[in-house]
Structure 1
Amino acid sequence: MTSLKADCSQCFGLCCAALPFSASADFAADKAAGTPCGNLRADFSCGIHARLRESGYRGCTVYDCFGAGQHVSQVLYGGTDWREAPGTASEMFAVFPVVRQLHELLRHLQEAEGMPAAAALRPVLAEHRSGIEALTRLAPPALVQVDVDARRREVGPLLGRASELARAAVRGRRRDRRGADLMGARLRGASLRGVSLRGACLIAADLAGADLRQADLLGADLRDAGLAGADLTGALFLTQPQLNAARGDAATRLPDGLLRPPHWS
C-alpha cells in the first residue's frame, strides 16, 4: 500500500522548489513556482527548519505532502534529482502537486475503509483506492494530464456515505453545518459531536472546549481556529495540515494517528 506519510529525507525538496508563495503573514518573501526557496540547502534540507515560524515561514509548518515528495523522487524518478538532471525539473515540479492531491484522496479512502460502520462499502472503497494508486504510478507525462477534480467528484459521495454511516449512531446529533460560514464564530464549549462540518469555514472560530467527537471535518478550514481543550476524538477525515493550521493546547484531545503540533501551547 502506498505510504502516505511524508519522509523528507527521501525527497528532493519538492515542496520547497515546485510550489509558489507570496510575502504575507505566512511567508516572509515571494517565491515563484519552480524556483527553489532561498533556504533550501544543497542536500535538499531546510536551513531554517527548526525556526520556520520565528523566521516568518509559518505556511511551511502547516504543509504536508502526504508522502507525495518521496513517491515522486524515488518511485517516479528513480532517485535522480532535478539538480543532477535539470531537464527533468519542470516536469517533476508539475507532477508533484498532482501526486500530492491524489495521495490526499488515498488518505481519506484508507480512513473510510477502516470505519467499522462503513464495512459494507469496503469493496467499492478499495476499488477506488486501487484505481487512484494506479494513477500515481503512471509515467510523468500521463500523470500531469490526470483530472484530479474528476476523481474528487467520484470519491466525494462515497466518502460522504461512509461518514453518514459512521455518524449515524451518535445520539442527539445536531443539524449538519456542511459548507457553513463560521469564520470567527463563537462556538466555545459547543456540542458538535457527529455534526458534518465538511467544507465549513472555521477560520479564527473559537472552538475552545467544544465537543467535536465523530464530527466530519473533511475540507474544513481550521486556520487559526481555537481548539484549546476541544475533544476531537474520532473526528472524521481530519488531517495533520488542518491541525497544524489551528491553535490548540495540551488539553486538546486528538484522533489516533495525528500528532500535536509543536507550536501549540
Structure 2
Amino acid sequence: MPAPRPNLLADCSSCFGLCCVALPFARSSDFAVDKDAGEPCRNLQEDFRCGIHTKLRSSGFRGCTVYDCFGAGQQVSQHTFGGRSWREDTALAGRMFEVFPVVRALHELLWYLTEAVGLPAAEPVRARLQSALHATEALAGGSAEELAQLDVDRHRGHVNEVLLAASDLVRAQAKGKKRNYRGADLVGKRLTGIDLAGASFRGAYLVAADMRGSDLRFADMIGADLRDTDLSGADLRKSLFLTQFQINAAIGDTETKIPDALERPPHWD
C-alpha cells in the first residue's frame, strides 16, 4: 500500500478543535456526556487542545480515541477559512461547522483513491481513478460557499463506482472463492477458521465479531463497522481501503498485522 498523503493525516495542532465542537455526541459507552452540534466539548481548552487527551478512555471518552478526520480539520481551519478561528470571528462559526463534515467526507474518499491509484492490479482503471482523485481534490479545495452547496453523497456515488471496479480487480488476486459479505449483519459472528482472503466486507456490520487469526489479505473493508471486532492475530497487511478510524475502533494485539499506512492503536498494547 502506498504511503498516504500528509494532508490526509490529522494534524490537531493546525486545527481549531472542529471535531470537538462541530459534531454532536450522546452519553453512551463512547462518551461520558451529551453534547449538541456546535457546542464546544467541556474538555476543549482555549488553545484548542484537549484537556484530558492522555486519559480520554479512562474518563469515558473512548469515542474520541477512535475518531479520525482524515486531515479535514486543518484543511478547513487553515485553507478554507484562511486561519481564522470560530472563536476569533464568531460569524464564521456556523458555516465552518457546516462544511467540516463535508470536507471530511471528501478527504475520506481521497484516502481510498490515493490507495487505489497505487495498486498494480488496478491498472485497467487507473485513469478513471486518477480523474476521480483530481476531481475530489478540486472539490475539497473549494470555497466555504461551494462546499456548503456540494451534494457530497452524489459525488461519493460516482467515486464508489470506480473504487468498486478497482476492488474487483485487486480481490481477484486472492485464490479460491471470494466470499461476499457486502452490507451483511455479522454482529457478534464467529468468523474464525474461514478463508476470508479476497472477501468483500463493504458496509458490513462486524461489531464485536470474532475474526481472530483471520487472513484478510485483499479483503475489501470499505465502510465496514469494526467496533470491538476482535482482530487479534489477523493479517490485514493487504486489506483494501482500511482506515485508521476502523483500526482504532477494533480490538487487536501484538500479532495483528496492519497496513504500513496505518498506526497501531496504543490501546492494543
- TM (normalized to structure 2)? 0.96
Q: In the alignment, which of 127, 131, 134 is matched to residue 130 of structure 1?
A: 134
Q: In the alignment, which of 27, 30, 52 is matched to residue 34 of structure 2?
A: 30
> What does residue 187 of structure 1 align with?
191
Q: Percent identity?
A: 58
- Greater relative CO (CA pairs within 8 A, separation 6+): 2
What aligned pairs does 1:1-265 form with structure 2 within 5 A after superposition? Answer: 3-265=7-269
Q: Deviations over 1:153-204 (max 9, x none)?
A: 1011210110111111211133221111111001123320111111111010
Deviating runs (4+, > 3 A) in structure 1?
none
CA distance in structure 2 between the partners assigned to 1:86 and 1:175 by the alignment = 51
User: Quick check: 1:190–1:207 contact (8 Å CA) kept in 2?
Assistant: no
- TM (normalized to structure 1)? 0.97
Tell me by how many angstroms 1:152 deviates: 1.2
Q: SS at the partner of 1:34?
A: coil
Which shows bigger deviation, 107-116 or 132-141? 132-141
User: Quick check: 1:68–1:99 contact (8 Å CA) kept in 2?
Assistant: yes
Report the aligned-residue RMSD. 1.1
Q: Deviations over 1:104-160 (max 9, x none)?
A: 011111111011011121211111111111111221122111111101110112101
- Structure 2 gap segments, 5+ residues each: none
CA distance in structure 2 between the partners assigned to 1:2 and 1:98 by the alignment = 19
- Structure 1 gap segments, 5+ residues each: none
Which shows bigger deviation, 214-223 or 131-140? 131-140
Q: Deviations over 1:13-50 (max 9, x none)?
A: 00001100010110000111001001001100000000
